[in-house]
Amino acid sequence: MLGAVIGDIAGSVYEHRPIKTKDFPLFSPGCGLTDDSVMTIAVAEGLLNTLGKGPKHVRAAVVEAMQKWGRRCPDAGYGARFTSWLGEEQPKPYNSWGNGSAMRVSAAGWLYPTIQLTTDHARYSAEVSHNHPEGVRGAEAVAAAIFLLRQGKTKTELKNYIRGVYRYDLNFTVEEIRSGYSFDISCQGTVPAAIVCFLDSDSFEDCIRNAVSLGGDSDTLAAIAGSIAEAYYEIPKTMEERALAYLDDEMKRVYERFKEKRL
């Protein structure tokens, strides 16, 4: 979960001015939390509030938490359709294939003892808004990647699983796509690239730098890549402390609850 927040912060200032290089300050002036972090915290809270409960309760709690946090942080940079969803009395899914379902899902990768429960809850968290098959696939793939890595799977095992189950093409490198990669808010255009940013990395920080260097939707790319990398690498203590300083007290309380409950 914190990996997603760090990626979001690092990529936040480059979303509309791609840099195409790994040489940049990780916490630069102007960095901050965007909708990626806010909704990551919201989904975590919804899932924490419904541990052991069924799909209907989980979906309702996720909606409640997302609307609560969206209204609490109205200027975080939500898309137009999602902004409308946040304000509706009875919000309905709107068949979105956007990468929002994947950037907010990381808590699901840590809270459940089996991959089936993990992907089920990833699906529940996606379906409340992003119920297009691509929106669901993206969320499930990211949560599954986190689960598998915290179970000790290797990068090769992860790559083979994601290719086999989710049918994403991962046969490319960051270097091969960097020059031609452009802004893409779709799950199908973001999730495979974020996974490869992790596969091509040699540390947590290197993964974040890979993601931001692609350009495009840099905060979301780095949030997804960072959420995966956290399950494989140790986040440096200094980086963790700097990221936590961006969270307000209520956000920190959700994060502390998450740390207590994660498996």
SS3 labels along the chain: CHHHHHHHHHHHHHCCCCCCCCCCCCCCCCCCCCHHHHHHHHHHHHHHCCCCCCHHHHHHHHHHHHHHHHHHCCCCCCCHHHHHHHHCCCCCCCCCCECHHHHCCHHHHCCCCCHHHHHHHHHHHHHCCCCCHHHHHHHHHHHHHHHHHHCCCCHHHHHHHHHHHHCCCCCCCHHHHHCCCCCCCEHHHHHHHHHHHHHCCCCHHHHHHHHHHCCCCHHHHHHHHHHHHCCCCCCCHHHHHHHHCCCCHHHHHHHHHHHHHCC
Tell me: domain 2-261, CATH 3.30.360.10, correct? no
pLDDT at 40 over 90: yes
Tens digit of pLDDT for each residue in 123-166? 999 999 999 999 999 999 999 999 999 999 999 999 999 999 99
Mean pLDDT, the chain, integer: 97
Tens digit of pLDDT for each residue in 203-239? 999 999 999 999 989 999 999 999 999 999 999 999 9
Q: Is the pTM of this model over 0.95?
A: yes
